[in-house]
Chains A and B, each alone.
Chain A
Amino acid sequence: MNDILIFGELSISNKLRPCVFQLLTKANHLKNKLNDSKLKLLVLCPNNSNFDEMNSELKCYNIDEIIFAINDNFKEFNSDYYCLCIKEIVQEINPKIFLIGGTNIGRTIAPMISNSLHTGLTADCIELDINDEKNLSATRPTFGGELMATIWSKTYPQMATVRENVFKLEKWEENDPHIIFKDYDFQEYKSKISLIKLIKREINSDLSNARIILSGGMGLKNKEGFTKLENLANIMGAQIGATRLAVEAGFASSNIQIGQTGQSVAADLYIAFGISGAIQHLCGIKNCKKIIAVNNDPNAPIFNHCDIGIVDDAFAIIKELEKLLLLKTV
């Protein structure tokens, strides 16, 4: 009853997603603060999966038990099949804590499981800890971008989702987890949802390895503002990111959103143009080595969280940078 269960989400190429290893890392720290706790991993996969590869990838995380639930309905994501199986296994294991990656799939199944098990769920946490009562303490920013809230849950399992790349990766000495293969049987059950076609997204919008990121907010005013930023990024060999408001306004695509509910990045240099610096944005860039902020409002909170601040018009700076860079290369 003190166990920690992690959901081992697979990508469309049937590999464990990075968030799985990041959650396992954090779970090791949580486990150390609990008595007599086991770390368990649940993976749903089709019959022909590469179990050896997964097992060898999972060697260095002190896992006590890996449960592979196997059924060909897990070839692709179906919320009905996923939820039915996860719910049953969670009830069997009866963990204290159940952690899920904050991906599209994770954010779909986590509330399904929490509602069907009648337990609380905290979404998009940026920190997890064990409190004095030996329960999960989950932290996320509150609305408005000023305060952080620590959330506790009265029910078990205590559930939380965490976005990819929020937690760093650590490894431990190799161990031999106990492995359970479970042929999951849906009997007569048939989901009414079906996948007709899956189209792989070609554009790589993963910013986790980007070294220089030019990021834009509402200060860029419109789509054209982002085109200007993109041009500059091309010249500089940088990638672009955006705030949630800029994404909501349609200036930039949602897959380059940076922050609590977008991506977490760790660039060597992060340059923010017209970004106010709400906590939800800041917690996605805290691992960047150097942060430069360009904003025409000297009171913008981002100036308290940057290395270099420039109080100026974003467009004037973009134009000037472009000019200087082009002059340099010819």
Chain B
Amino acid sequence: MKQQLKIAVCIKQVPDTNQIKWTQNNTIDRTNMDSIINLCDEYALEMAFNIKEAYKDKQTQISVFSMGPYKACEILKYALALGCDNAYLITDKVFLGSDSYITSKILAQAIKYVFQDEFDLVICGQFASDGDTAQTGVGIAVNLNIPVVTYISSLIEVNDDSIVVQQNFEDSFNIVKLPLKSLMCVINNNCKLRNPNVLGYMLSQRKDIKILTANDLGFERNQVGLQGSPTYVYNAYRYKEDNNREKKIYSGLSSNESSKIILKEVQKLFDYYED
């Protein structure tokens, strides 16, 4: 039995969509928008800690990776304070504009660079709230040539060389066994998340965040970023307001009056259904 377990967790910093304020012309007021750790990635970290705790006899080491600007150190520090052992920031100007295909390649390369072949699990959030392509985790698995299980909601049990999890699909809950050396994509299951404690915070102050650049990972400028990405945004345009809609707006009515307007519409439908 192997005594060591090495887990890599990939996390992303995203704008806090909970704080969106709209200006009068329906554009987003970006002035006070904060950045936070992507929600699914919090559950990915939680999963890593659950696995560590379940493997009582193994010595588990959790390393966290994030690709992004220097500001993303904030979430890496947070992960360290939660109890992760190592943190890596993958950052380089030439990475800018990478699509999810290239992002997967870069993250996979970083994992190979740090561990060579010596790791047991990679855990990612299922999707990021800002792009929601849900491609990066799966792409990392393909690049590392390891099996992948998606939409994981919880850990069921750990065995010597495998893990059993619950996977949530539209029509079914699947209980799936995956081998050690595989990649897990984790969803938000609304379980209680741990918070950093004082001790964790103090210990994390002593840990460095290691920086990995394109050069470290052996990428040429034209292999990554906008240039290396197979997809690109051809154009972007404003979503047209819906001119087929009546847009009758009532303000200043009493709630009773407004409710009657709504009920009239409901009633119209029922009359129509009865005919």
Contact = CB atoms under 8 A, between A and B. Distances in A.
Chain A bound to chain B: yes
Interface of A: 11-12, 77, 79-80, 103-105, 107-108, 110-112, 114-116, 118-124, 131, 137, 141-155, 191-201, 211-212, 218, 236, 244-245, 248-250, 254-255, 260-261, 268-269, 271, 276, 278-279, 282, 286, 290-292, 294, 297-301, 303-313, 316-317, 319-321, 324-325
Interface string B235-270: 111110110011111111101101111110110010
Nearest to A249: B18
B195 interface: no
A321 B246 contact: no
A98 to B, nearest CB: 13
A116 B263 contact: no
Given A108-B138, A261-B132, 14 more contacts: A79-B148, A123-B100, A137-B234, A151-B233, A196-B177, A199-B172, A255-B170, A261-B127, A279-B239, A299-B22, A299-B23, A306-B247, A308-B246, A310-B262
A242 to B, nearest CB: 13
Given A147-B239, A192-B179, A111 B28 contact: no
B99 interface: yes
Given A150-B235, A276-B22, A317-B255, A311 B249 contact: yes
A115 B236 contact: no
Contacts of A141: 239
Contact of B239 (A80, A282, A307): A282
Given A114-B135, A211-B269, A310-B250, A196 B236 contact: no
Interface stretch (B60-68, B139-147, B210-218): B139-147
A111 B139 contact: yes
Contact of B261 (A79, A194, A298, A310): A310
Contacts of A298: 249, 251
A67 B134 CA distance: 28
B239 A120 contact: no
B258 A143 contact: no
B185 to A, nearest CB: 8
Interface string B121-158: 00000010111111110110111000111110000000
Given A148-B236, A248-B39, A304-B26, A121 B101 contact: yes
A192 B28 contact: no
A193 B134 contact: no
Contacts of B172: 12, 198-201
A307 B245 contact: yes
A170 B261 CA distance: 36
B175 interface: yes
A148 B237 contact: yes
Given A143-B130, A269-B269, A308-B262, A248 B247 contact: no
A138 B143 CA distance: 25
B109 to A, nearest CB: 13
A210 to B, nearest CB: 12
Contacts of B261: 308, 310
Contacts of B143: 115
A148 B239 contact: yes
A196 B164 contact: yes
B15 interface: yes
Contacts of A211: 269, 273
B53 to A, nearest CB: 22
B269 A250 contact: no
Q: Looking at A218, A268, A313, which has the most chain B CB atoms within 10 Å of its CB?
A: A268
Contacts of A278: 20
10 contacts: A79-B147, A111-B135, A120-B99, A123-B133, A145-B28, A148-B237, A198-B173, A304-B242, A311-B249, A313-B255
Contact of A191 (B132, B147, B175, B249): B147
A325 B173 CA distance: 38
B247 A304 contact: yes
Nearest to B102: A120
